[in-house]
Chains A and B, each alone.
Chain A
């Protein structure tokens, strides 16, 4: 310790020490900078586990007859487990659909909600006149998470193609950001890197709602119950102006800043989009309805279609109706979302 004894720890000596060990400090500084950069640019790791859990995909597989034999036993057990917990999702989707009907009257949503009502065995007695109309869709013995349940909006042909390619097409049929084929008639994603914003003011309707939580208040994070509004609206449908070429994410950021609503997001490079972690401090995973798969989180919907790609890739058009809804069950199943991507 002879060498160490000379060092009195005043500022002058510390500076001298740093000067002497320039190399080490340089390396350490570079390492710290790299780490910070990696943290900021990263986010891949934290998003992958959820994509592995894309429940609906497994369930869609088990619903089609040919593929059912190839499915591993574990996947089948998951289906059965979810069948039991499916009653809850019926309730949530019904009340949610009521809300939606209040605000706007699109036929496709009604169809999806009634379909989800139908699929439950118990709920048939509860149903009103809609059930008779749609009985032809849900054949007996089909699991509640049937093809129709997850692809209610898409036309028959596209539903068939996607269900055929779904079982063993992890590599084919997807674009380079892991997005499955987009249903016909729906806008293609526009990469945020190719975004061209023109100074041309357009308007859209924007709303943020967490109404599904109201049905699951007992399971919701007890510390945050005070943050859930009585009627579920965090932002009631409002007209918002935006420039042509802006994505849903850009508008969300602006709307939240203007209305002083808390929002936090994370850039996920594999999906080339931002992921909305929390709005109004209601975070992903805050409402665990299922003991084994906690799938609660935010989903967005434009013109009553839940896109299968991220918010930053959806380019808004004039008059679009954008909704952000909190989903408690099945990655959007309780919202009547047709297709849950593992964002």
Chain B
């Protein structure tokens, strides 16, 4: 079953992700970083389930560790000197903290983008940008479609070759190379043929003729309007608060900032409520669905 947030109007999805990814990139306050990471993690878990666990444990955890280790090696700013490197530069506490902060920022953005890919499918993208940048959005969606299609076809060909004992893992080195070359050759001829077929098919259906419209069943409902207005208003308030340095935080030369104060807490609350929005909508819909069912 598709989740409720994905079923909303594409413009709502797109503006949500534009705001959220933008904020995650530019706000370096540690509380905001944590909020963003936690919300992204919950969202990905809800959308992708097991796949998300694999992504975060196998790729993001090592990334965090590597960046946290590498940053202090090259960055020597900071007032608190802990030790000295053999090349006479200091190891500072601030650079370690900054390394961890950047790592969290990076991984939360990766997680948000994996949510983005799940929610903003290519048909939504075309629907939004088909009018404004028609050829670019077509090329984009074809290119995005191409990679998964290619991988799928590769596996099909590989499995069929495996059936007749000519997989890459069969035989000695020379035989393996021969098999691999064969598979790639099949792959390429399929790709070329597929491209020609696609082009012919599109032409025969009248692609590029004037006055044609794309089919879509997206309806801008009242709920969409409400959610969109909440997103935009809270986003604008957050931008204004960020410009006014409500929760100012700096890492160099010393870690300093007013993390806890009344306006800062309002800021975090707003930030959290914006980021948790898709999950909240999904959970709300789930509760509603169950209640309606139990009533019958």
Contacts and interface: CB of A to CB of B under 8 A. Distances in A.
Chain A complexes with chain B: yes
Contact of B155 (A1, A257, A262, A283): A1
A260 B159 CA distance: 65
Q: Which of under 10, 10 to 19, 20 to 34, or 35 or more describes the interface residues of A?
A: 20 to 34
Contact of A265 (B58, B78, B89): B89
A277 B250 CA distance: 20
B54 A9 contact: yes
Contact of B90 (A39, A262, A267): A262
Q: What is the predominant secondary structure among interface residues of chain B facing chain A?
A: mixed
A267 B89 CA distance: 11
| Interface residues of chain A: helix, strand, loop or mixed (majority) | mixed
B252 interface: yes
Contacts of B84: 257
B3 interface: no
Contacts, number: 42
Given A264-B89, A265-B88, A227 B76 contact: no
A39 B74 contact: yes
A253 B58 CA distance: 41
Interface in B51-84: 54, 57-58, 74, 76-79, 81, 84
B159 A2 contact: yes
Contacts of B250: 223
Nearest to B74: A39
A264 B253 contact: no
Taking each of A39, A265, A277, A281, which has the highest tally of chain B beta carbons within 10 Å of its own beta carbon?
A281
B87 interface: yes
Interface in A275-296: 277-278, 281, 283
B253 A281 contact: yes
B77 A264 contact: yes
Contacts of A257: 84
Contact of B81 (A40, A223, A260): A260
B81 A278 contact: no
Nearest to A14: B58
Give 4 closest A-B pairs by Cβ, nearest first: A264-B76, A281-B253, A253-B88, A264-B89
Interface of A: 1-2, 9, 39-40, 223-224, 227, 253, 257, 260, 262-265, 267, 277-278, 281, 283
Given A40-B87, A265-B88, 14 more contacts: A2-B155, A39-B74, A223-B252, A223-B253, A260-B81, A262-B78, A262-B79, A262-B92, A263-B88, A263-B90, A264-B77, A264-B90, A281-B77, A283-B77
